[in-house]
Structure 1
Amino acid sequence: MTPAPAIVSSSALYVGEVVHQRSRTFAHRLRYRLWMVLADLDELDGLQSRLRLLGRGRVGLISLRPSDHGDRSDRPLRGQVEAHLAEAGIDIAGGPIRLLTMPRILGYGFNPISVFFCHTPDGALAALLYEVTNTFHERHSYLVAVPQAADGAAPGLIRQTAEKRFFVSPFMDRDLTYDFTVRPPGEAVSVVVAVRRGDTPILTASFVGQRRPLTDGQLLRAFLTHPLLTWKVTWGIHWEAAKMMLKGARYRHRGPRPTQLVTLGHDRS
């Protein structure tokens, strides 16, 4: 009997750690283990049919729901991302869109930041969409085009910038700048967000992860070695906030939400 062909997937797990380092007003550092799923939006239905542990619903050991992202509606997530790209004059011509995010764990999900990697059909990375969610469940995104190399070579580190338009941390002002430095998913992935006021660094947050195949065995291993992942992230945010208040952090007023859904940034490479 001829063996079945191996399933080739762009989707994967990335297991690593998050580090936050605050360097202005007062020093504060946190570091913890974390894992994320890279899901090709065109593969998602097939993945969830094939994998017993990657469910679709709100309740389950591990679940990934497109309606947890974008405008949280039942509108196709791919269409929402493509609409944002079109408004910015970016055409990926139906190419792959891959989402790096944390899934729901035991029905609960929270992602401070998720990243959409938007590719053209030939695999070239055309844009990154950073989806930021605060603890008030408000959301704003930052979209930045990726310039194409003249020789067609794949990008190494991608460096991008956007003005901060959205209330996230209660201890940080809004009139700041984000500098993104991203290594696109391969054998490893990294997303670094540096926050500054002018030329003065305020905070650096990073995730660095190593690729693992997206299988039931690896999902179970990640669940067992990082128990209650999303629950711990939310608890950790509040715990670290309490410690920062003891160090003298001053609470900032939230202010009005931005009127637009997406802020455009620019390349800084």
Structure 2
Amino acid sequence: MPDALQPAVCFGAVMHERHVQAHNRFVYPSAFLRLPLGRLDQVRAPLLGIERANLFSFRSRDHGARDGSPLLPWIRALLNERGLAAACDGEIVLQTMPRILGFVFNPVSFWFCHDRAGGLRAVLAEVNNTFGERHNYLLHHADLRPIGAGDELRASKRFHVSPFFPVRGEYRFRFEQRGAVHAVSIELWDGGERQLSTRLAGRAEAVGGASMAKWLARQPFMTLGVVARIHWQALRLALRRVSFFRKPAPPLEETT
């Protein structure tokens, strides 16, 4: 089985760069889980609880329907509604941050949908904002061919994330796996100009006691830090008098 389909802990960094009005760039250390949903009940590791409390815990209620129901039927139903079930008939891997000490905020989680041969056919980007709202972007090639490393997939921006950008323009996504390194790059373009660049990358290690202990030693309050850093960067932009956009109503459709 390809390494991309194995349960993993990934250690790396997230980069965020604003290109317009007030240039701003930062890089923070990060870590995330990659969990194959077809074998979620088989994932076992010290410090990590699957649907139960622990220092690190993964809860189905943080994703999908948000009601605690199993995630695999939810994503399968969504793929079927969009005519992607036949192409995405293999493993689905959810890349996300777990709860740490009971708290989590995932700006974006990714559902990697594969065919039976292990080819990546679609990706669902599950986006959350700090107002408690969420929206999904379903990404795939028009002809449903496998998504290759560096292929660009586009989606019109429909959801308010930052008050320093309007709900306008388009996202350009790229997904890569090079050996043990998994990376996602996202750019926001508007009016022919690049507005924002984000890159999340991490090197995979097997889920186990050693990897979870390393995470605890390196970043025991990482999920709290995500929210703190979002507000710190927002304060910096506000002090620089960057244009502010009020939050509109969320889109009626849950998935673009």
Normalising by structure 2, report the TM-score. Answer: 0.92
Contact 2:91 2:113 in 1 (8 A): yes
Residue equivalent to 2:111: 116
For 2:52 and 2:252, the matched residues in 1 are separated by: 29
For 1:87 and 1:200, the matched residues in 2 are separated by: 34
Residue equivalent to 2:215: 222
Residue equivalent to 1:140: 135
Aligned counterpart in structure 2 of residue 242 of structure 1, from 209, 232, 235: 235
- Look up the SS of the partner of 1:256 in the other structure: coil
1:31 aligns with 2:24: no
Structure 2: stretches of 5+ with no match in the other structure: none
Residue equivalent to 1:61: 55
Q: CA deviation at 1:166?
A: 0.4
Structure 1: stretches of 5+ with no match in the other structure: 1-8, 264-269
1:261 aligns with 2:250: no
1:70 aligns with 2:67: no
Relative to structure 1, is the Cα distance of residues 228 and 73 closer, same or farther in structure 2, using a 3 angstrom cutoff? same
Q: CA deviation at 1:228?
A: 0.4
Residue equivalent to 2:97: 102
For 2:49 and 2:198, the matched residues in 1 are separated by: 29
Residue equivalent to 1:173: 166
Q: CA deviation at 1:145?
A: 1.7
- Look up the SS of the partner of 1:32 in the other structure: strand
Q: How does 1:44-55 map to 2 (within 5 A)?
A: 44-47=40-43, 50-55=44-49
Contact 2:7 2:33 in 1 (8 A): yes
Larger radius of gyration between Structure 1 and Structure 2: 1
Offset from partner CA, 1:113-137 (integer Å, 9 cap, x none): 1000001122121101000000112
Aligned counterpart in structure 2 of residue 15 of structure 1, from 11, 17, 36: 11
Contact 2:46 2:212 in 1 (8 A): no
Contact 1:84 1:262 in 2 (8 A): no
Contact 1:18 1:206 in 2 (8 A): yes
Normalising by structure 1, report the TM-score. Answer: 0.88
For 1:221 and 1:20, the matched residues in 2 are separated by: 24
For 1:80 and 1:87, the matched residues in 2 are separated by: 11
For 1:75 and 1:141, the matched residues in 2 are separated by: 18
- Name the aligned partner's letter for residue 135 of structure 1: T
For 2:179 and 2:73, the matched residues in 1 are separated by: 25
- Name the aligned partner's letter for residue 141 of structure 1: N
For 1:100 and 1:254, the matched residues in 2 are separated by: 27
Single out whichever of 78-87 and 193-202 deviates more from structure 2: 78-87
Q: CA deviation at 1:170?
A: 1.0
For 1:197 and 1:62, the matched residues in 2 are separated by: 38
Contact 2:6 2:36 in 1 (8 A): yes
For 2:177 and 2:138, the matched residues in 1 are separated by: 15
